[in-house]
Amino acid sequence: MIAFVRGKFAVKTPARLVVDVNGVGYDLQISLNTYAAIANAESGQLHTYLHITENAQTLFGFADIAEKELFLQLISVSGVGAATARMMLSGMKPDEIIRAIVQGNTKQLEGIKGIGKKSAERLIVELRDKLGKQSLESPLSGGIIMNTPDTDAVQALVALGIGRPQAEQAIKKTMSIIPADASLELIIKQALKNL
């Protein structure tokens, strides 16, 4: 899996970006949201997602990790493919999509090309709770997630296969008993003991 690419922007259009990484050109499909973030840059780093289907391998690029995570949430919904998710991120800003889903605003979602009434309802049903929790935990501020050691620790525990509610509870307990300037590694180790 390619987590990110960093290099010079050799070709840049509102839908596509070729990043020259030490002489190798990575062709990335991007949203208008990402294009707006990199429009004036000649080089930089993009977070990526490699989408493999029966007929193609497509690399998607994102200006920030929050947009990538939202993309992954969107494609997890049945009937929403990678192209539709990219269209959603081109039609609305990530925080607007999250707000529309959390508030159950089907009309706003239906305004995006490729999203009909059933798809909008499915997005709301499947993602409302997940995105509602995420937006409370790590609000989007200018497209950047302000990670703190405790939110990073929760994400690490979830990545290890621990359920989010259980991970949050363990981190909350841990943060109350360890020093405020404790390292992320110490927080995670102590939280694993508190499970």
Domain final position from 103, 121, 143: 143
Side-chain half-sphere exposure of 101, counting CA atoms within 13 A: 28
What is the residue type of 6?
Answer: R
By DSSP bridging, strand 57-62 and strand 43-52 are: antiparallel
pLDDT value of position 85: 93
User: Mean pLDDT per 10-residue run, the chain (195 residues)?
Assistant: 93 93 95 92 95 93 93 92 92 89 91 88 90 57 51 77 82 85 82 80
CATH of the domain at 139: 1.10.150.20
Residues 94 and 24 in one domain: no
Instruction: List the beta strands (DSSP E) in 72-169.
Output: 140-141, 144-145
With beta carbons less than 8 A apart as the criterion, state whether 94 and 66 touch. Answer: yes
State the total domains in the chain: 3
pLDDT value of position 135: 54
pLDDT value of position 9: 96
Which residues, at least 6 apart from 64, have a Cβ–Cβ distance to it below 8 Å?
Answer: 37, 47, 143, 144, 145
Q: Give CA 9 to chain center in angstroms.
A: 22
Residues 137 and 69 in one domain: yes
pLDDT value of position 134: 63
> How far apart are the C-alpha atoms of 54 and 46, rounded to whole Å?
25
Structural domain span for residue 47: 4-62
pLDDT value of position 59: 96
Residues 58 and 45 in one domain: yes
Residue identified by tokens 């493999």 is: 52
Residues 139 and 157 in one domain: no
| SS3 at position 161 | coil
Domain final position from 126, 143, 160: 143
